Structure 1
Amino acid sequence: MNATASALSVASLTIDCADPAALADFWGKVLGRPVSPGATAENATLDATDPASGPKMFFSKVPETKTVKNRLHLDLLTEHYDQEIERLTVLGAKPLNEIKFPGVRWTTFADPESNEFDLLTM
């Protein structure tokens, strides 16, 4: 196998959390995906609805709480920035910071378990 080629692909994005069902419900509403059947108090999943929707998201209960800034976060791109700001806030996202540059705006949010993510428009 060529050292620069890879046979790997992203199967899922796993998010450690205190309440998998609630966090999967939040992200399902954010991304327009249903929570997959079989969600429990320990695990919940959002399946990818099509290749453009991104990877599967897996929510796993862990005993410890979040203590530091996440090192990986989602960047969500929209053409309807102001409407999405309002929708995400209604769903329970907390705006943390907004930055504006010519032609670019983005807001950093925290989800219900304080995981950060960004909403961008260009």
Structure 2
Amino acid sequence: MTISIYATSFDAADAATLAAFWAAALGRDMNPGATPESASLPATDVDQPILFHGVPEAKTVKNRLHLDLITKDFDIDLARLLSLGATKLASFPAWTTLADPEGNEFDLIRG
């Protein structure tokens, strides 16, 4: 088989702003030249690129796919993500479900 996943892509109202949130959240750099229409985080040694595409329509329903992030510093990273603009949606013993500034759900897992 020759198919593999190249990148994770997000549709966004403002690609540059959403990319800046995820760059800060993940401790990654943004590629230069970000605009409201297009932005990206480059691949790293362990992670694939993340692409952001400006679209005219707003997010209207729950994600069918989401990111699961894991951390050993759960309370510290939860507070940091909230300070970056994430919103807490639900809490469970092993994880918390959050939304990024454009409403895309993701989970922060105790590692």
TM over 0.5: yes
Structure 2 unmatched ranges of 5 or more? none
Match of 2:36 in 1: 41
What SS does the aligned partner of 2:63 have?
A: coil
Q: How far did residue 75 of structure 1 move?
A: 0.1
1:86 matched to 2:79 = yes
Match of 1:121 in 2: 110
What do residues 11-68 of structure 1 show as CA deviations (whole Å, max 9, x unaligned)? 1111001000000000000111111012122100001221x2x221100001100000
Q: Distance in 2 between matches of 1:8 and 1:80?
A: 35
Please say which structure displays the higher CA radius of gyration. 1
The code of the aligned residue for 2:71 comes to T
Calculate percent identity across the aligned residue pairs: 51
Match of 2:22 in 1: 27
1:17 matched to 2:6 = no
Question: TM-score, length-normalised on structure 2?
Answer: 0.96
Q: Give matches, 1:54-93, under 5 Å.
A: 54-93=47-86
What SS does the aligned partner of 2:36 have?
A: coil
